[in-house]
Amino acid sequence: MRCPFCGSPDSQVKDSRPAEDGGAIRRRRVCPDCSGRFTTFERVQLRDLMVVKKSGRRVPFERDKLARSIHTALRKRPVEEERVERMISGIVRQLESTGESDVPSDAIGRLVMEALRGFDDVAFVRFASVYRDFREARDFESVIAELTAAPETATEDRG
């Protein structure tokens, strides 16, 4: 792992432990050249996933892109970061456990919608407005009707 301070390629691991979200390994490193200390997080990747876009184009799956879209939907919402990370890790595990390396983009969107439905109603509506390409106010009404028709367990859970 390259040192972020001096660029040396020879950092040394001083400590390793599971990260708080349980889906990564936290490593404390030190650079022998500049004595800089830094932390890295490493995740186990079960398989290389490819996202198949609606156009048929295939692109590598990016966990960070998934996380950004979820964080955008959750912006300024009172949720714990640890719960968000567990949700993201759960979605990635579901994708990896399908046994397929090609995943349609709409399947990823459906998994995110499913996860957000039970997590935060406002984030669910925000994500739905982009995922379903809302064009008018009536589109918001229909997704809100979906939420109110859902069982009580689908309401906001800040546990």
Span 36-72, pLDDT tens digits: 999 998 876 666 899 999 999 999 999 999 999 999 9
Confidence at 73, pLDDT banded by 50, 70, 90: very high
For the chain, the domains span 12-43, 50-154
Does residue 82 have a pLDDT over 80? yes
Q: In whole angstroms, what is the distance from residue 2 CA to residue 66 CA?
A: 25
Total residues found in the chain within this entry: 159
The percentage of residues in the chain with a pLDDT greater than 90, rounded to a whole number, is 62
Q: In whole angstroms, what is the distance from residue 150 CA to residue 144 CA?
A: 10
Q: In whole angstroms, what is the distance from residue 62 CA to residue 151 CA?
A: 32
Cα separations in angstroms, 26 against 22, 31, 60, 65, 99 = 10, 16, 24, 21, 27
State residue 156's pLDDT score: 44
First and final C-alpha spacing in the chain:
37
- Return mean pLDDT, the chain: 88
